[in-house]
Amino acid sequence: MTAYKTVNPATGETLKEFPIATAEEMEQSLASSHAAFRSWRSTPVEDRATVIGRVAEIYTERTEELARLIATEMGKPLAQAKGEVKLVASIYAYYAAEGPGFLTDEPLAVASGGDAFVRTSPIGSLLGIMPWNYPYYQVARFAAPNLMLGNTIMLKHAGNCPQSAVAIEQIFKDAGLPEGAYVNVFFDNDQVAEVIADPRVQGVSLTGSERAGAAVGEVAGRNLKKFVLELGGSDPFIVLDADDLDATVKAAVNGRITNGGQACTASKRFIVLEDLYEPFVEKFTARMAAITPGDPLLAETKLGPLSSQRAVDDLIEQIQDAVDNGATLRTGGHQIERAGSFMEPTVLTDVTPGMRAFSEELFGPAAVIYKVASVEEAIELANGSPYGLGGAVFSADVEKARDVADRLDTGMVFINSAAESQADLPFGGVKRSGVGRELAHFGMNEFVNKKLIRTPR
C-alpha cells in the first residue's frame, strides 16, 4: 500500500511514491533510535552543538533546492519557501549557540542547608508527527531542541511531502549526526499507535488537526508517555483604531494569505470596531480581490495553490454553508478553473453562530470580518472560539493594545503585527489549540528529566 506520494498541487501530477514501512522496517527504526540514544546522550554538549550548527549551515547552502522542493510538493510560493528555509537555519543556529547554556545545572537554595541542584537530562527516543504546511519548519521546532538536549528522534512526516522528509534526514546525515539519532519513517496510523506504546519510546510530539491530536494524546496517555500537541487555530486580528488604515489592512491581508492561508497561526477572524468597519471591509476586500494565484515556482507569486484538491473542496463547503445560512460573500468563494488546486481569495461578512465558518478553522485564503461595538465585545468574540493559539491587536495606543492582549485566551499575541515565528520566541497555545511549548528555552524543557541531585549538610 502507498500512502506517501508527491502530487504537485499546481498541476495535479503524481511525481513520486513511497511505500509504507514494513513491520521489519518499523522494528529496525525503533531499535536504531533506541540504540543511538545511549551514545548521543553521552556525546559532549559542545559536540552536539557542532553538529546542530552544521545542520544550520547546510540548510543555508541548499536554500534554492530545498525551497523548490516544497514549492512542488505543497504549493508554497518560492519566495515564501526560501523564507521558511532561512527561518529553519536560524532555529538550528540558535540552539547550537544557546543550547549548551540551557543545559546548565540550576542550583537551589535549600532552607535546611547542604547542596542541591536540578540537572536537565534527555529522556530517550521520541516520535515526531509533522504536517505538510511548513515541511522544514515544523520539524525544526521539534528536532533542534531535542537533538541538542540529547534525545533521539523518529520523524513521521505528512503523506504528501515525502521527498521533503527524505531531504531532512539526509541533511542530518551530512551534518554528521550519528546513525539512528534522526530516523525518517513512513508509518501508517496503526504503526504510529504501536510505536507510541513501545517502551523504547518516551514521548511524542504532534503538529496537526484536533482529531489527530486527540488520537495521539489518547494513546500516549494510556501508555503514560509525555506528549506535546500543536493543533488548530482561528486567530483573531483585532482592530481597535488605526492612524494608518492602509498599513493595517496590508498587514491583515498578508496575515491571511501567507502560505496560502494554510497556517495554524494565520489571521483568520478579523474583528473591527464599528467606526472603522466599513472602510476596513472595503479596503481589505479590494486587496484580496486583486490577488491572482499563480505558479508557486515563479518568484513573483504571492499565492499558490492549496495543498490538494481535497483542501479546496473542504474550504468551499465551509464557505457555501455560510452563504446558504445568510453570510455575505464579498469576493471569491470558488475554485479557479485551471489545472491544479487553486482557490480564489475569499472574504465573508455577516457570519453568525451556527455557521461552520463561525466556529471552524478555515484553512486557506478565506477571511471572516466581524463588526463590534466595543472593546469588550471584541474580546468576548475573540475568546468565544474553541481555539487559543495566537492573535493580533492593532492600535495606535500600544498600552491599550497590550491590555486587550492580556485578556485574550491565547498562547501568543502580537501587537501591531500579524503572527511571526522566531527561534527565541515561544510557540504554543491553549484550549483546543494544544498543550506544551516549542522554541526558545521552553523547547528544551518538554521532553526532559529535571533531576534533583541533593547532598544534605
For every residue of 84-125, DSSP letters joined together read HHHHHHHHHHHHHHHHHHHTS-EE---TT-SEEEEEEEE--E
d(CA 293, CA 77): 10
Residue 186 shares a structural domain with residue 243: no
Residue 1's pLDDT is 44
Residue 3's pLDDT is 84
Within-domain flag for 427? no
Residue 4's pLDDT is 96
Within-domain flag for 33? yes
B/e letters for 418-435, b = 16+ CB within 10 Å, e = fewer, are bbebebeeebbbebbbbb
CATH number at residue 361: 3.40.309.10
Within-domain flag for 281? yes
CA distances from 284 to 77, 348, 375 (A): 21, 11, 21
User: Which candidate in 84, 98, 230, 446 is catalytic?
Assistant: 230
Residue 321's pLDDT is 98
If you ran DSSP here, which 8-state letter would residue 177 be given?
P
All residues at 6 or more sequence positions from 11 whose CB lies less than 8 Å from its CB, including other chains: 339, 340
Among 259, 263, 332, smallest CA distance to 291 is for 332
Residue 310 shares a structural domain with residue 414: yes
Residue 191 shares a structural domain with residue 299: no
User: Which candidate in 161, 264, 344, 361 is catalytic?
Assistant: 264
Question: Could you tell me whether strands 387-388 and 430-431 are parallel, antiparallel, or unpaired per DSSP bridges?
Answer: antiparallel
Residue 246's pLDDT is 98
CA distances from 445 to 56, 160, 217 (A): 21, 31, 19
d(CA 152, CA 37): 6
Residue 83 · residue 90 · CB < 8 Å: no
d(CA 171, CA 412): 31
d(CA 233, CA 363): 9
Residue 216 shares a structural domain with residue 331: no
Residue 349 shares a structural domain with residue 369: yes
Residue 113 shares a structural domain with residue 251: no
Among 410, 432, 373, 422, smallest CA distance to 231 is for 432
Element counts in the chain: helices (H) and strands (E) = 14, 20
Query: For the chain, what percentages of helix, strand and coil (3-state, to nearest 5) are there?
Result: 45, 20, 35
Residue 99 · residue 273 · CB < 8 Å: no
Cell representation of residue 372: 463590534
Residue 68 shares a structural domain with residue 151: yes
Count of structural domains, the chain: 2
Query: Is 161 designated active site?
Result: no
Cell representation of residue 423: 527561534
Within-domain flag for 428? no
d(CA 33, CA 37): 6
Q: What is the mean pLDDT of each run of 10 residues along the chain (457 residues)?
A: 86 96 98 98 98 98 98 97 98 98 97 96 98 97 98 98 98 98 97 98 96 96 98 96 97 97 97 98 98 95 96 98 98 95 98 96 97 98 97 98 98 96 98 97 97 95
Centroid of chain to Cα 26: 26
Residue 384 shares a structural domain with residue 446: no
Using the Cα atoms of residue 410, residue 411, residue 414 and residue 419 in order, give the sign of their dihedral.
Answer: negative
Residue 439's pLDDT is 98
Among 438, 86, 421, smallest CA distance to 263 is for 421
Residue 309 shares a structural domain with residue 213: no
Domain that holds residue 275: 235-422
Residue 156 shares a structural domain with residue 273: no
367, β-bridge pairs: 347
CA angle 158, 159, 165 (to 5 degrees): 60
CA distances from 165 to 6, 37, 159, 299, 328 (A): 11, 21, 10, 24, 41
Within-domain flag for 251? yes
C-alpha gyration radius of the chain: 23
Residue 379 shares a structural domain with residue 443: no
Query: Is 169 designated active site?
Result: no
Among 320, 346, 435, 424, smallest CA distance to 389 is for 435
Q: How many CB atoms within 10 Å of residue 1? A: 5
Residue 2's pLDDT is 58
Residue 300's pLDDT is 93
Within-domain flag for 75? yes
Residue 285's pLDDT is 98
Residue 212 shares a structural domain with residue 83: yes
Residue 457's pLDDT is 86
CATH number at residue 80: 3.40.605.10
